[in-house]
Amino acid sequence: MAQTETLMITEQDYERLALLLQHTDGPNAVALEEELARAQVVPQKEVPQDIVTMNSTVQFVSLDTEKESEVTLVYPKDADVTKGRVSILAPIGIALIGLKVGQTIQWPMPNGQSRELKVTAIRYQPESAGDWDL
């Protein structure tokens, strides 16, 4: 991922993702591990409302195409692209985790090209809704 800004991630998300990575390999796992390595880890109750966390529903725009999209960032077992649930191990999932509204990032496409996206809104964040156990 082409980004130098610090990411913010909750302690719970960090611990769960670290456990997931212990049982996962491949280039996407390596990319997620790199993102986690540069993240600022914060207590779950202290994460700002404008940060993409696990199980958040996030709206973003592709700056290349100006196409707007909305997805929910989930663990691999819950992924279903037909329902807008994107795995954290998908390139777009790795790109979104820890970003805040207004932040941009470049992310790789499966065809080898890259896209630049900007987070425009968070429609749902478990922490701000008080859903601590998702």
pLDDT given for residue 133 in this prediction? 77
Domain made up of 7-126: CATH architecture: Roll (3.10)
Instruction: For the beta carbon of residue 45, count every other beta carbon within 10 angstroms.
Output: 10
Q: Any idea where the domains of the chain sit in the sequence?
A: 7-126
pLDDT at 108: 72
Bridge-based pairing of strands 85-87 and 104-108 is unpaired
DSSP 100: B
Say what the pLDDT of residue 113 is.
82
Side-chain-side CA neighbours of 130 within 13 Å: the count stands at 0
pLDDT along the chain (134 residues), means of 10: 72 96 92 94 96 98 94 97 96 94 85 88 95 77
Tell me how far apart the alpha carbons of residues 68 and 30 are, in angstroms, rounded to a whole number. 28
- pLDDT score at 132: 77
Radius of gyration of the chain (CA): 14
pLDDT at 129: 92
pLDDT at 126 (0 to 100)? 96
Q: What is the pTM of this model?
A: 0.90
